Structure 1
Amino acid sequence: MIPVQGYKGHKVAVLGLGRSGLATAAALRAGGAEPLLWDDSPEARARAEAAGWTCHDLTREGAFHGVAALITSPGIPHLYPQPNRVIAAAMEQGIPVDNDIGLFFRSWAMPDWDNFETTPRTVCVTGSNGKSTTTALIHHILDHAGRPTQMAGNIGRGVLDIEPAQDGEVVVLELSSYQTDLARALTPDIAVFTNLSPDHFDRHAGLGGYFAAKRRLFVEGGPDRAVIGVDEKEGVFLANQIATSREDDRVIRISAAKKLGDFGWSVFARKGFLAEWRKGRQVGSIDLRDIAGLPGAHNHQNACAAYAACRSLGIAPKVIEEAFHSFKGLPHRSQTIAVKRGVRYVNDSKATNVDSAEKALEAFSNIRWIAGGLGKEGGVKSLQPHLGHVRKAYFIGHSGRDFALELDGLDHEICETMERAVERAAEDAEPGDTVLLAPAAASFDQYKSFEKRGDHFAELVVALPD
């Protein structure tokens, strides 16, 4: 646990009692603060009280008397579409509002660091797609290289729940826009921006607000080095804002779509080969084509981002390449579940929007595509140009019939349920085919989470005859 610094002897309100909220309360108490816990959900309050905490009603009159700060969980709206009433009340009374990420960065450094030979570092990864895989891959490379490392944030443990740093340790954090938007302290040593695609418009009042939340990690955080994906205009803009010149190697541009040889430092992937260029010449190369844990161009972008971050930490290209080959990938992200009767079954349940589904569809050939769920604003018509590898689609869930109408001319079957979709896809599939779950939709019409959806797919696949 990281004891929170700066609030010893003060009352600090904590709103939201999920995983990060309870970890925050414990870290505040460990730092000498008096946490005042509240959640709008009676069930969440009951769970906290069962764990030994006392709840304080932050909605009552005078609840913030003597309170030094309000720490809110990232999922609770603080501005759009409407601020939570507790957060609104705190702001109206001038109470500073922060989150666990802000507390982490003000508390991470400890006095015993003065005795370390190598100062601990933080690597923060944000973006729309690929940030979980990139975060896990960086952590895996560091572990393979023998560097002490922990992984936290939007993946794994809460940031305040990790252990205090060892000498030379590197903490790798995945940060969502919800987390970067409100944190009052953002001081990563290395910051990574993977890409940007439309998402969370209600929370950020549009694409501009969504990008602005992610941009904070770079322009307000002031990292020593920035790794920036430049396959979208927002990444090109961000790299241009930070770099002082074309030769400025504090910015490492990465791409899975184009050559980037004319900058101070760049890493890109073309035709399955990763290349590192510095000051106009190539200094490293890795063949990514046969790396099972990183299939497709979208994972090649993740590989470029992880490679660049780890090279910034002084890890040799050969060590990184070895780690790539031992990386198993993450559950629900282009995860091969099984190969049965010559048919590959891939779980990409995390593909909850059209952009991530597009990347999955481009990564495989001879696809039997399982898609559908709770469709998002804008539909799936933009996927039409990316269906060349799809032999047949099997639509499920609330939006399955809408998907079929939007994707003109695609051979398809309305299956409604995952059971029926897996059964029919398996019956139709031939050796060399890939049955791909890439829903392009949220899961909440039939499942509690995309993880539950992916787990169900995996269970059904495992039960198929060999």
Structure 2
Amino acid sequence: MIAVRGYEGRRVGVLGMGRSGLATARALAAGQATPVCWDDGEAGRAAAEAEGFAVEDLAREGPWRKGMGLLVVSPGVPHLYPAPHPAVAQAQAAGAQLDNDVGLFFRGMAMTDAEARVVAVTGSNGKSTTTALIAHILRGAGRPVQMGGNIGRGVLDLDPLADGETVVLELSSYQLELARALAPDVAVFLNLSPDHLDRHGGEGGYFAAKRRLFELGAPSACVIGVDDRHGRFLAAQSREADPEGARLIEIASGARLRGPGWSVFMNRAFLTERRRGEQAAALDLRACPGLIGAHNHQNACAAYGAARVLGLGPKAIEAGLRSFPGLPHRLQLLGERNGVRFVNDSKATNADAAEKALLSFERVRWIAGGVPKEGGIAPLAPLFGRVAKAYLIGQAAQDFAAALGATPHELCGDLATAVARAATEAEPGDVVLLSPACASFDQFRDFEARGEAFAALAQAVVAEPDGGQTDGEEGPR
């Protein structure tokens, strides 16, 4: 745990008692502050009380009359759009400041003597894989490393920082938009696609939250994906502050970069580094089974760039790329039966993420649906030719069926039915792909629970004895 200093003997409000909220309360208490906790849910309040923390309704005026000057807001709690939480409104009316655990983490870094470095990764898609890949590469090269933020451990639940250590953080827009301090050594921006627009008041607000990592933090080095217009804009701004090209690495999976600066991009199957107009390295990503698909190629370019500015050489990075096993629920190969592969991409909760999955395979038995996101799957129409058949589940099934039009599809209702139908109809060379382009909350707790359910169903199919073949005769399919 990282103790939060600077609030000794003071009451500090903590709103939201999920993973980050409880970790924040513990960190404040370790720094001799008195956390005053609140959660709208009874279970969250009970969790705080079980650890001995004071619980008061922060949406009422009473707690703020006692001189609290800070409210630490958990990422899932809105502070502006679509409307401020009542506790946030009370805190602002009392003149209190707002912050979150990420802001407290970076403020605490300024108070420590440890010579540690921080890499912060943001973007719409690929954050978790890139964060885990950077940590994996560093660990494989013998560097001490911790990983946390929006993946693994909360930022204040990490161990106290040590000399020579690197902390790799995945940071979402929710975490970035409210942090009062952001000071990474290396900031990574991958991409931006429409998501969480109600929370940020539109796409501009969403991008503004991401940009704070580069504007407020003034990182020593920037690794920026330029495959979309938001990244190109951000890179252009960063380039103005870096005329020598020493602190900006531009990355791309969909274009060969030929500028005079520092770049990492895909040249067919080869990750290529260029610096000062010359090629510096080229790595064959076909030897990296945990990094399937163009979007994972972008993740690999980003991780390579971050590792380079941290001082690693190409050979050490290549070893890490080759040994990376991938993350669950992100184009995770579960197994193969009779030439049919089963791939779990449950993390694909919007059309942009599902596009990356569809682009990774030639012939797909596509399981899609759930709670739809704005825009549905209409943007994926150019890829419907890759879909041998779609198996639709959840709330979005009827709308997705309309969008698919003449593309073969079937309303399956639930995941078990979809897997059974896809497995029965799949032919050698097909990929049975769960890439829902939807949130999971209509039928599952979260995308992880959905992916675990799919994995269990798919692995049961893969494990069927003799692949359905008996004495040369075709068995049931």
TM-score bracket, normalised by the shorter chain, equals over 0.9
Give 1:389's match in structure 2, choosing from 383, 386, 391: 386
Matches within 5 A, 1:108-257: 108-109=109-110, 111-113=112-114, 119-244=115-240, 247-257=244-254
The residue that corresponds to 1:337 in the other structure is 334
The residue that corresponds to 1:8 in the other structure is 8
Is the deviation greater in 176-185 or in 412-421? 412-421
Shift of 1:246: 5.9
Shift of 1:419: 0.8
| C-alpha spacing 1:263/1:92, structure 2 compared with 1 (3 Å) | farther
| C-alpha spacing 1:111/1:177, structure 2 compared with 1 (3 Å) | closer
Q: String of CA shifts for 1:207-258, please: whole Å, max 9, x gaps.
A: 0000000000001110000100011111111111121266423111100011
Shift of 1:112: 4.4
In structure 2, how many angstroms separate the alpha carbons of the residues matched to 1:291 and 1:389? 24
Shift of 1:332: 0.5
Counterpart amino acid of residue 143 in structure 1: R
Give 1:369's match in structure 2, choosing from 362, 366, 370: 366
Helix, strand or coil at the partner of 2:174: helix
Q: String of CA shifts for 1:378-418, please: whole Å, max 9, x gaps.
A: 12111110123221111111111210111221111111111
Shift of 1:48: 1.9
Give 2:264's match in structure 1, choosing from 255, 262, 267: 267
Indicate yes or no: 2:92 matched with 1:96: no
The residue that corresponds to 1:116 in the other structure is none
Kindly tell me the number of residue pairs found equivalent between the two proteins. 461
| C-alpha spacing 1:275/1:88, structure 2 compared with 1 (3 Å) | same
Q: String of CA shifts for 1:131-158, please: whole Å, max 9, x gaps.
A: 1100000000010000000000000000
The residue that corresponds to 1:428 in the other structure is 425
The residue that corresponds to 1:86 in the other structure is 87
In structure 2, how many angstroms separate the alpha carbons of the residues matched to 1:73 and 1:411? 43
The residue that corresponds to 1:26 in the other structure is 26
The TM-score normalised by the length of structure 2 is 0.95
Q: String of CA shifts for 1:309-366, please: whole Å, max 9, x gaps.
A: 0000011111111111111111100001111222110000010100000000001122
Indicate yes or no: 2:466 matched with 1:452: no
Answer yes or no: is the 8 Å Cα contact 1:108–1:164 preserved in 2.
no
The residue that corresponds to 2:413 in the other structure is 416
In structure 2, how many angstroms separate the alpha carbons of the residues matched to 1:8 and 1:52? 18
Answer yes or no: is the 8 Å Cα contact 2:69–2:95 preserved in 1.
no
Counterpart amino acid of residue 103 in structure 1: L
Answer yes or no: is the 8 Å Cα contact 2:342–2:458 preserved in 1.
yes
In structure 2, how many angstroms separate the alpha carbons of the residues matched to 1:226 and 1:219? 11
The residue that corresponds to 1:357 in the other structure is 354
| C-alpha spacing 1:102/1:111, structure 2 compared with 1 (3 Å) | closer
In structure 1, how many angstroms separate the alpha carbons of the residues matched to 2:431 and 2:28? 49
Helix, strand or coil at the partner of 1:392: strand
The residue that corresponds to 1:278 in the other structure is 275
In structure 2, how many angstroms separate the alpha carbons of the residues matched to 1:246 and 1:259? 21
Answer yes or no: is the 8 Å Cα contact 1:297–1:359 preserved in 2.
yes
Counterpart amino acid of residue 184 in structure 1: R
In structure 1, how many angstroms separate the alpha carbons of the residues matched to 2:286 and 2:150? 29
Helix, strand or coil at the partner of 2:204: helix
In structure 1, how many angstroms separate the alpha carbons of the residues matched to 2:309 and 2:11? 40
Answer yes or no: is the 8 Å Cα contact 2:340–2:432 preserved in 1.
yes
Counterpart amino acid of residue 443 in structure 2: Q
Shift of 1:301: 0.2
The TM-score normalised by the length of structure 1 is 0.97
Answer yes or no: is the 8 Å Cα contact 1:154–1:175 preserved in 2.
yes
The residue that corresponds to 2:75 in the other structure is 74
Answer yes or no: is the 8 Å Cα contact 1:397–1:416 preserved in 2.
yes
Shift of 1:108: 2.6
Matches within 5 A, 1:437-448: 437-448=434-445
Answer yes or no: is the 8 Å Cα contact 1:246–1:264 preserved in 2.
no
In structure 1, how many angstroms separate the alpha carbons of the residues matched to 2:187 and 2:106? 14
Q: String of CA shifts for 1:235-290, please: whole Å, max 9, x gaps.
A: 11111112126642311110001111213211001312110010000001111123
Helix, strand or coil at the partner of 1:123: strand
Helix, strand or coil at the partner of 2:438: coil
Indicate yes or no: 2:309 matched with 1:312: yes
In structure 2, how many angstroms separate the alpha carbons of the residues matched to 1:375 and 1:106? 38
Shift of 1:57: 2.1
| C-alpha spacing 1:111/1:154, structure 2 compared with 1 (3 Å) | closer
Answer yes or no: is the 8 Å Cα contact 1:247–1:263 preserved in 2.
no
Shift of 1:61: 2.5
In structure 1, how many angstroms separate the alpha carbons of the residues matched to 2:228 and 2:148? 27
Shift of 1:60: 2.5
Counterpart amino acid of residue 95 in structure 2: G
Q: String of CA shifts for 1:175-234, please: whole Å, max 9, x gaps.
A: 000000000000000000000000001000100000000000001110000100011111
Unmatched runs of 5 consecutive residues or more in structure 2: 468-477
| C-alpha spacing 1:158/1:310, structure 2 compared with 1 (3 Å) | same
Q: String of CA shifts for 1:163-185, please: whole Å, max 9, x gaps.
A: 01222100000000000000000
State percent identity of aligned pairs: 59
Helix, strand or coil at the partner of 1:292: coil
Is the deviation greater in 56-65 or in 288-297? 56-65
Unmatched runs of 5 consecutive residues or more in structure 1: 114-118
Helix, strand or coil at the partner of 1:289: helix
Is the deviation greater in 195-204 or in 163-172? 163-172
The residue that corresponds to 1:61 in the other structure is 61
Counterpart amino acid of residue 190 in structure 1: V
Is the deviation greater in 376-385 or in 21-30? 376-385
